[in-house]
Amino acid sequence: MKTEKNGYEFEIEIDELEIDKEGSHERSNYNGYDTALLNFHMTVTKIEEMERFNYGLVGTIEYSTDRIEIECDDGFKYRPYITLNGGDVQDQKFNSAIRAYFDEEYPFEQFVWDNLTNNQKDIIEELIK
């Protein structure tokens, strides 16, 4: 998907969305309520006139009946907000544009949900019943 935000043109491509059933059961036991864990890996490509720069958007989404929590791996640690991994991660303005896109244009959890297969959605809904 190609889009633009804060003067940056970029593409977001989902490379992998995987439900962690075993991790979901472990997290459910830890949390005390039903939880489904979805691991994701996406590629975010910043497009400039003659160059393209790839970044990773890697992490986990924790679904439960009353909330959704996101953890992103920035290459050093997991953070509870959208952050990029790889490339020139010092490009804070671009990182902020990606965060703003998901805050203002297309909520991240909805973007991911829209890209799940019906089977994956059924599994998540079954895990959080």
Q: Locate the domains of the chain by residue range.
A: 2-124
Q: What is the pLDDT of residue 88?
A: 60
Q: What is the pLDDT of residues 71-93, one digit of tens each?
A: 998 888 888 889 888 766 567 88
Q: Which residue has the higher pLDDT, 75 or 68?
A: 68
Q: What is the pLDDT of residues 4-49, one digit of tens each?
A: 999 999 999 999 999 999 999 999 999 999 999 999 999 999 999 8
DSSP 57: E
Query: What gap in Å lies between CA 62 and CA 41, rounded to an integer?
Result: 15
Q: What is the pLDDT of residues 44-66, one digit of tens each?
A: 999 998 899 899 999 999 999 88
The H or E element containing residue 20 is strand 8-20
AA letter at 111: F
Query: What gap in Å lies between CA 90 and CA 84, rounded to an integer?
Result: 10
Q: Phi, psi (5° rounding) for residue 66?
A: -120, 5
Residue 70: both structure tokens together: 């996101």
pTM of the entire structure?
0.86
DSSP helix/strand/coil, 124: helix
Q: Phi, psi (5° rounding) for residue 104?
A: -105, -30
